Chains A and B, each alone.
Chain A
């Protein structure tokens, strides 16, 4: 028995509980700047609402169900001025909270959320106040889901690719090509399913172009994405002019998906029309969110995919082929963007016209980043954008005294505020956009 055991000094050793090197956290310059600018923005919006308060007269009415619904829900009536005033106060409080810097933990997130909701509600209450027609809430929500469908699918495409480390700026191009292929195939075959299949094939083919140059030839992925978008626009434009336009009756009159109500579920008041009286594509998009989440977080493939996007060398050293996983990810992404592209033709209007995707691919990309590369968050962001777009078209039916362009700005400001409060600093996959070579 040695004396050592009795005198054993307590040394920090490998067997101790893991010790954290935690430093007191203060606010960095960047964080301070972000906090102050969010605060100022929210305050400005709050002041705007306060100004709108003086022009609000009458009752704001919100119809929870449309005229054709079997079960009629009541139309909610809110006192316009009071609602606007309340929302303005909430905004001002949230803004002051940001500026004071006293918000800790979850408080900034909640304040951001409150401010975002208050802006939306206050603005709607003002717009609907004293109008003959109530604001159609059910239409707004059902339209949100419908409009967001391609955005959700595009965002999922982006999430899968970027989580594996391949930046996808080419979602727009994949949309456009798929939309074209769907319209053409649908016109020829008169089959929705054939059109969907063609769209997926087109999406995957465009994805293969991206994968080939990004993964095999290590081309800068952002530049590559832009080039693919130009290629898609040029290619579909050329084929449209030369082939489709002269025979538009035969080649550009595809079938249009009809809403398929799901038995029982479709009869649920409010929720039914919003979620369960939609087209196949909408159902597919909602299912895809769950599928992508499951693939990424519950399967071997997803674990490897995320590893490849974070630390490709680590994946390589445990025998995972980085390039193969990235190829798979980009091609699987192509399936989703292909489906998303089909929305623009067979999913909504049936026929193709030049550049008809009008930037939806880029909005989907924004949803990816704002959704922190997480499928559910990204889809939520896509829904948010869908909401904004839908609101814009709803508001045109209500007659508001302010120029419509200005009105359309406000929801986007709400988006920025919500994002600043909810998301804060984002960190993407560490190896996103970095080509892998041994």
Chain B
């Protein structure tokens, strides 16, 4: 339901008309129309690369449009830089926070809008306190940003926009880094701001959130508006609008038929480069033919666990056994030889080389063995043939496997990584955030392949911070918090319980609380 338009009296709000933005020959935004009225939450929905962020960067003065107009209350405006946009009452909560990590909250808040030549930190702290009281966003003005949890950092980012008297707030993928509870709280904050009369643009690709909060929905695909949707539109319909074809959001999978235990992790302890014990004496087993999901909010040790399994970071103590072989002191090469497949968390840095060809990327783990190598020389034909076969099998969308890896979209790059890892017999597949930054269509494909690998009898360890993904794929869920195991639970555990466990509440307690909560709501 669209909320009643009582806002009309306050003007027509913020309008984007026919905005076009090109990067070279690539049209990121093609004559896009969008409007936001005070007192509403307008969701801008679209896949990665659909042009949402470009559009908002145009609105925020970071990019200059190649065509089109921006109007506020009917008056055309031009924003040469973000300062001009802020001056016109537009504020942005960036996906990657625009906060100086070594500054305090107060310093970040006044940066760029300091009143005098000499910085008055006392006044800045006062402003922080006033704003956080007024909008019920508590935060310590003296805290240094890098010491704050992500959710609080986001609060600072919101306060920063509010300090500039923003009337229109753009939230760019704000939920990507939050726990489920933090997401709920953020939703409340957004609603409160809406009720204050702020116009809110909420950018996301998460359908559930859109349905929970949107007053209006606009869907962007490949730089164009493909339609508006009512808030009540089903997730399937929204996904279809977003992707441009019917999408199967559920993953069809048989019940797991776990075989023998293949991976045994015993009292594993790992420290990161700074010496923090980020994986603290954890133990678990994964059987062949099952998917164990490691759920948790980012930064609770999951990444380091995955890296330690591969041998990419040293193990302080504990054992890792794969099919009976001790791997706790193994190098990545030895782990790979032992049958471990690894999909790294960050494609940009690990596991994929943009300046190599697609064909080369597809043999990164096996380039030195037959059939890809003959003595010291590479067999280029074998490498090419392998690539062509994998391209067809994994639906990697590229005209030529000799193109550079960097020419691929995120989803296709991830398909290359997965194709490479799955193209040999595995004992264990470790996949870290395999669908991060990947569009809905490719997610569907990647999920199916991971399930297929499980059905072949491989043990699968999947690290994910997305509850949707955990629910769709897991046969068992291991929740990590501060480097330890909170519990191992079945996949049909409710979201509330999982969310609480992700904040460190033990399973039984979380369940009791969830039951109490439901009862409370019923009453």
Contacts and interface: CB of A to CB of B under 8 A. Distances in A.
A189 interface: no
B114 interface: yes
B62 A307 contact: no
B111 A304 contact: yes
A24 B275 CA distance: 9
Contacts of A8: 520
B277 interface: yes
A313 interface: yes
Interface string B96-132: 0111111100011011111011110000000000000
B86 A300 contact: no
Interface in A1-52: 2-4, 6-15, 17-31
A222 interface: no
Interface in A287-337: 298-304, 306-307, 310-311, 313-320
A317 B160 CA distance: 11
B118 A310 contact: no
Contact of B81 (A9, A14, A319): A319
Contacts, number: 159
B60 interface: yes
B147 to A, nearest CB: 7
Interface residues of B, number: 74
Contacts of A301: 117
B517 A9 contact: yes
A23 B102 CA distance: 20
Interface string B169-184: 0000000000101100
A318 B160 CA distance: 9
A15 B136 contact: yes
Contacts of A11: 181, 500, 503, 513
Chain A, interface size: which category? 35 or more
A101 to B, nearest CB: 12
A304 B112 contact: yes
Interface of B is mostly: loop
A256 B523 CA distance: 91
B376 interface: no
B62 A314 contact: no
A23 B114 CA distance: 36
Contacts of A29: 314
B151 interface: yes
B300 A21 contact: yes
B136 A18 contact: no
A2 B149 contact: no
A438 interface: yes
A430 interface: yes
Given A12-B181, A14-B185, A307-B103, A25 B299 contact: no
Nearest to B87: A319
A236 to B, nearest CB: 37
B149 A26 contact: no
Interface string B364-395: 00000000000000000000000000000000
Contact of B272 (A13, A21, A28): A28
Contacts of B148: 18
Given A3-B523, A26-B277, A310-B101, A18 B139 contact: yes
Contacts of A20: 147, 149
Nearest to A302: B119
Contacts of B112: 304, 315, 318-320
> 10 tightest CB-CB pairs across the interface, nearest first?
A319-B83, A318-B112, A14-B185, A3-B523, A28-B275, A7-B520, A9-B513, A314-B98, A23-B276, A300-B114
14 contacts: A7-B516, A11-B500, A12-B181, A13-B181, A18-B139, A21-B482, A28-B271, A301-B117, A310-B101, A310-B102, A313-B98, A317-B60, A318-B113, A430-B102
Interface of A: 2-4, 6-15, 17-31, 298-304, 306-307, 310-311, 313-320, 430, 438
Given A314-B100, A318-B82, 11 more contacts: A9-B517, A12-B504, A13-B181, A14-B186, A15-B185, A24-B280, A28-B271, A306-B100, A316-B82, A317-B94, A318-B86
